[in-house]
């Protein structure tokens, strides 16, 4: 399918890099920190129990669903308080989290494809997560990053897509949103009036009762190839 676009918004986790290895390293690094600085907390909340606590904190604080940073901090604080640990360890513990959160192993195609895409159209990162594109070294490729925490609402809410379009100076239908998640990315963006691209790296079946993506690719390279064939903002310059 071909259609003109003027800008792209793109998800990060599981679109530009896999999140599972990051999540595993976060758990291990935080566990090691607690074993050194708060052994009672590490004993009461080993990795599996910390994972269960995190799920419970997320469920009990649905009003913070857009703010994963606050939810992570609440989880660590709860573990420290519940185990009699020093709550003053919250900040250094979170710094451990932040360091691992931004230690990225990209999908093999991502960096070259992102550079190609950015050379064709303005590109914005649109994420429910808290990755720091400046820390990671990607900020030069993006017009901006809009995170759910900053915006106050998370994908698939239409408002976060609309806010990104406004900052890009584009009508909703002139923006292509790219992401891996069927509901958060594709369905959410489609309902908000954007064009959509599903990055399906694992050959999953599309399962949505009402909506389908405009495009489907298994790599960002394939998206960059497609972009080379259609009218874009660069062609208007």
Domain boundaries, the chain: 7-17+106-236, 20-101
Instruction: Check residue 233 and give its pLDDT.
Output: 65
pTM metric for this prediction: 0.94
Angle at CA of residue 15, ends 180 and 237, nearest 5°:
105
* Closest by Cα among 102, 40, 36 to 69: 102
Torsion of CA 31, 36, 37, 41, to 10 degrees: 50
pLDDT for 140-170, tens place per residue?
999 999 999 999 999 999 999 999 999 999 9
Task: Examine domains 7-17+106-236 and 20-101 and report if their fold is the same.
Answer: no
pLDDT for 185-237, tens place per residue?
999 999 999 999 999 999 999 999 889 999 999 999 999 999 999 988 666 55
**CA 95 and chain centroid, separation:** 19
pLDDT band for position 66 (cuts 50, 70, 90): very high
Q: What is the mean pLDDT of the chain?
A: 96
The answer to whether domain 20-101 has CATH 3.40.50.1820 is: no
pLDDT for 77-89, tens place per residue?
999 999 999 999 9
Question: Top-level CATH class of 7-17+106-236?
Answer: alpha beta
Are 22 and 98 in contact by the 8 Å Cβ rule? The answer is no
* 21 has a pLDDT exceeding 60: yes
């Amino acid at each position: 399918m071909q259609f003109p676009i003027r800008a792209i918004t793109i998800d990060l986790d599981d679109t530009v890099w896999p999140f599972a290895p990051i999540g595993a390293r976060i758990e291990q690094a935080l566990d090691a920190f607690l074993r050194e600085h708060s052994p009672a907390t590490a004993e009461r909340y080993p990795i599996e129990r910390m994972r269960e606590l995190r799920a419970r904190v997320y469920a009990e604080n649905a009003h913070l669903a857009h703010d994963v940073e606050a939810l992570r901090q609440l989880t660590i604080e709860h573990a420290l308080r519940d185990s009699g640990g020093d709550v003053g360890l919250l900040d250094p513990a979170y710094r451990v989290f932040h360091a691992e959160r931004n230690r990225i192993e990209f999908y093999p195609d991502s960096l070259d494809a992102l550079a190609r895409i950015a050379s064709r159209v303005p590109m914005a990162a649109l994420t429910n997560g808290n990755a720091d594109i400046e820390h990671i070294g990607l900020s030069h490729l993006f017009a901006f990053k809009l995170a759910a925490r900053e915006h106050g609402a998370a994908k698939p809410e239409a408002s976060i897509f609309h806010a990104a379009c406004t900052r890009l100076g584009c009508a909703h239908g002139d923006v292509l949103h790219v992401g891996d998640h069927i509901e958060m990315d594709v369905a959410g963006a489609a309902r908000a009036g954007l064009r959509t691209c599903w990055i399906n790296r694992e050959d999953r079946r599309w399962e949505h009762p009402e909506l389908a993506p405009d495009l489907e690719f298994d790599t960002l390279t394939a998206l960059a190839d497609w972009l080379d064939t259609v009218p874009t903002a660069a062609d208007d310059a």
